[in-house]
Amino acid sequence: MDLVVARRGRPVPPAALARHLLDAKLPEVRDALLDAGALAFDMLSWMPLTVADRTRRPGDERFVTHTGRRPMIEHVLASAAAAHPRIDVRRGVAVSGLKTGAAAVPGTPHVVGARTARGERFEADLVVDAMGRRSPLPGWLTAIGAPPLHGRWRTAASSTGRRQL
Task: State the average pLDDT over residues 103-114.
Answer: 91
* Interstrand relation of 121-123 and 11-12 (parallel, antiparallel or unpaired): unpaired
- Give the per-residue pLDDT at 110: 93
How many angstroms separate the CA atoms of 34 and 37, rounded? 5
DSSP letters of 48-104? -TT-------TTGGGGEEEEEEHHHHHHHHHHHHHHSTT----TTPPEEEEEEEEEE
132 vs 25 pLDDT, higher one = 25
- Residues of the chain above pLDDT 70, percent: 81
Q: Which residues of 36-49 are buried (b: 16+ CB within 10 A; e: fewer)?
A: eebeebeeeeeeee
146: Cβ–Cβ under 8 A, 6 or more apart, which residues? 108, 109
- Split at pLDDT 50, 70, 90, the class of 132 is confident
The whole-number average pLDDT for the span 78-102 is 90
The stretch 27-44 carries a mean pLDDT of 92
Condensed to tens digits (0 to 9), the pLDDT of residues 135-157 reads 899 999 999 999 877 665 554 44
Computed over every residue of the chain, the mean pLDDT equals: 81
> Is the CB of residue 19 less than 8 Å from the CB of residue 156?
no
How distant, in Å, are the alpha carbons of 16, 46, 88, 128, 158 from that of 60?
Answer: 11, 13, 38, 32, 24
pLDDT, residue 37, reads 95
Give phi and psi for 152, each to the nearest 5: -120, 150
**What percent of the chain is predicted at pLDDT more than 90?**
39
Alpha helices in 6-49, H assignment, sequence order: 16-25, 27-35
Report the pLDDT value the prediction gives residue 26, as an integer from 0 to 100: 94
Distance CA(96)–CA(115), nearest Å, equals 6
pLDDT at 29 over 90: yes
- Phi, psi angles (nearest 5°) of residue 118: -85, -5
The number of C-alpha atoms within 13 Å of 64 and in the hemisphere containing its C-beta is 9
pLDDT higher than 60, residue 4: no
* Annotated domain spans of the chain: 11-87, 95-143
pLDDT of residue 154: 53
